[in-house]
């Protein structure tokens, strides 16, 4: 498909020469945006290899298959098909609308495209952590026990088909925003791939106090590696991880706006999901057509998602340390969190024990004091609830 050019730019004087050059550059990027995206992947791949990040990789065979196959599906099958369907679908709905936004200034088009794209992706991503059926398609992204550029694209094949911002590409292009779409995709991939990569460019800023103001401004706009790595943590037990937040993809503004942002300037101790049953790559990519046979797996046919709350509190001797208290009521390790809250709107409460002794911990999930029993369960026993 040929992208529209910006005739309006040519009429501007005295910046004509400069603008025409910029127009050529933009058209070049648009025409070769796929090559640019591959270039970004190769660049970060080389960085990871050159700095030895891959030499002690924890990836197993299933991880490699999930990453390579899901990346292949996205780039060569899902995205082209969704783009075609959304472009042609918009044409059917708005037959006279093709190219009507061609006269929009490039920067305006780029900003509109990226903001709508990223807003849609923020809510789709957040929903995939809050609804179980969608979580199962996003789960492969979080079973990676180490970061890396190809983690960016590890999802079930259906996850990308339903992704609203991919549909937005075809819609915006149909209305004449082809060049902003192509340039925006390149810019967005730089942020997304770098935030998943093992090449943590932001560490350079954290280590130099005089550069801290720069990163503090940057991270309030764009997603940094530390911000996104926190989202991939196994849990928030280390006070760095934020697996139930930091959902942004290109911009961090949505997380700040909707209360899901945590900035720590640190990287989690552990990546992945708690109690990972190590499902085969086929189940990760093709669930529910292919299911897992691993006992207790969310991707297995006989997986049961049921409440495990109890009326009586648990009386336990706790040692000094940090704990995660289950608030969702689905944990199989009550009263502690075992990660079962993934795919719900709940998240655990982190609490610290300073003195070893016996504690009464809530299992009815009605207590107002977080993990500690306040006898709210008596209301259940007395039939008042
Ligand atoms: S299992 Fe984590 S909050 Fe319930």
Q: What is the pTM of this model?
A: 0.90
Residue 331 CA: which ligand 1 atom is closest?
1
pLDDT of residue 381: 67
pLDDT of residue 14: 44
User: Quick one: how far is CA 254 from the chain centroid?
Assistant: 13
Residue 338 CA: which ligand 1 atom is closest?
1
C-alpha 327 to ligand 1 mean position (Å): 6
Closest CA to 366 of 329, 318, 340: 329
Residues 105-153 pLDDT 10s: 999 999 999 999 999 999 999 999 999 999 999 999 999 999 998 899 9
C-alpha 374 to ligand 1 mean position (Å): 20
Range 301-321 average pLDDT:
94
C-alpha 235 to ligand 1 mean position (Å): 10
For a mutational test of ligand 1's pocket, the pick from 274, 298, 325, 330, i.e. the residue with the most ligand atoms closer than 8 A to its C-beta, is: 330
C-alpha 333 to ligand 1 mean position (Å): 9
C-alpha 339 to ligand 1 mean position (Å): 5
Q: Please tell me if the CB atom of residue 328 comes closer than 6 angstroms to any atom of ligand 1.
A: yes
Give the range with max mean pLDDT: 34-43, 53-62, 191-200, 372-381. Answer: 191-200
What residue spans define the domains of the chain?
A: 7-199, 314-381
Nearest residue (by CA) to ligand 1, atom 2, is 337
- Between 13-22, 141-150, 326-335, the lowest mean confidence (pLDDT) is in 13-22
SS (H, E, C) the chain: CCCCCCHHHHCCCCCHHHHHHHHHHHHHHHHCHHHHHHHHHHHHHHHHHHCCCCCCCCCCHHHHHHHHHHHHHHHHHHHHHHHHHHHHHHHHHCCCCCCCCCCCCHHHHHHHHHHHHHHHHHHHHHHHHHCHHHHHHHHHHHCCCCCCHHHHHCCCHHHHHCCHHHHHHHHHHHCCCHHHHHHHHHHHHHHHHHHHCCCCCCHHHHCCHHHHHHHHHHCCCECCHHHHHHHCECCCCCCCCCCCCCCCCCECHHHHHCCCCCCCCCCCCCECCCCCCCCCHHHHHHCCCCCECCCCCCCECCCCCCCCCCCCCEEEEECCEEEEECCCCCCCECCECCCCCCCCCCCCEEEEECCCEEEEECCCCCCCCCCECCCCHHHHHCCCC
C-alpha 347 to ligand 1 mean position (Å): 6
């Amino acid at each position: 498909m040929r992208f529209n050019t910006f005739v309006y730019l040519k009429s501007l004087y005295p910046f004509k020469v400069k603008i025409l050059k910029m127009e050529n550059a933009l058209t070049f990027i648009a025409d070769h945006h796929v090559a640019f995206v591959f270039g970004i992947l190769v660049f970060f791949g080389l960085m990871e290899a050159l700095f030895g990040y891959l030499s002690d990789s924890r990836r197993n065979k299933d991880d490699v298959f999930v990453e390579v196959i899901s990346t292949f599906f996205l780039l060569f099958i899902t995205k082209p098909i969704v783009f075609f369907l959304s472009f042609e679908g918009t044409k059917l709905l708005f037959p006279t609308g093709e190219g009507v936004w061609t006269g929009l200034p490039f920067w305006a088009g780029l900003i509109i495209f990226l903001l709508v794209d990223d807003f849609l992706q923020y809510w789709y991503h957040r929903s995939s952590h809050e609804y179980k059926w969608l979580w199962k398609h996003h789960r492969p992204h979080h079973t990676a026990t180490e970061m890396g550029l190809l983690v960016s694209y590890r999802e079930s094949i259906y996850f990308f088909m339903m992704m609203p911002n991919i549909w937005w590409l075809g819609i915006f292009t149909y209305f004449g925003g082809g060049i902003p779409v192509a340039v925006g995709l390149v810019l967005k991939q730089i942020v997304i791939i770098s935030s998943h990569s093992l090449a943590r460019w932001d560490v350079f800023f954290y280590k130099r106090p005089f550069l801290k103001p720069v990163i503090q401004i940057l991270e309030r706009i764009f997603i940094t590696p530390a911000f996104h790595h926190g989202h991939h943590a196994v849990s928030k037990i280390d006070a760095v991880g934020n697996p139930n937040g930091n959902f942004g993809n290109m911009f961090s503004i949505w997380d700040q706006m909707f209360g899901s942002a945590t900035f720590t300037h640190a990287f989690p101790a552990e990546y992945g999901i708690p109690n990972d049953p190590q499902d085969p790559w086929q189940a990760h990519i093709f669930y529910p057509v292919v299911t897992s046979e691993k006992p207790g797996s969310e991707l297995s046919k006989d997986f049961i998602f049921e409440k495990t709350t109890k009326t009586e509190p648990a009386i336990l001797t706790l040692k000094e340390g940090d704990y995660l208290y289950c608030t969702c009521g689905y944990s199989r390790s009550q009263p502690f969190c075992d990660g079962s809250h993934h795919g719900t709107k709940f998240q655990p409460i982190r609490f610290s024990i300073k003195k070893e002794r016996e504690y009464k911990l809530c299992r009815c999930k009605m207590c107002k004091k977080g993990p500690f029993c306040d006898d709210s369960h008596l209301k259940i026993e007395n039939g008042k609830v």
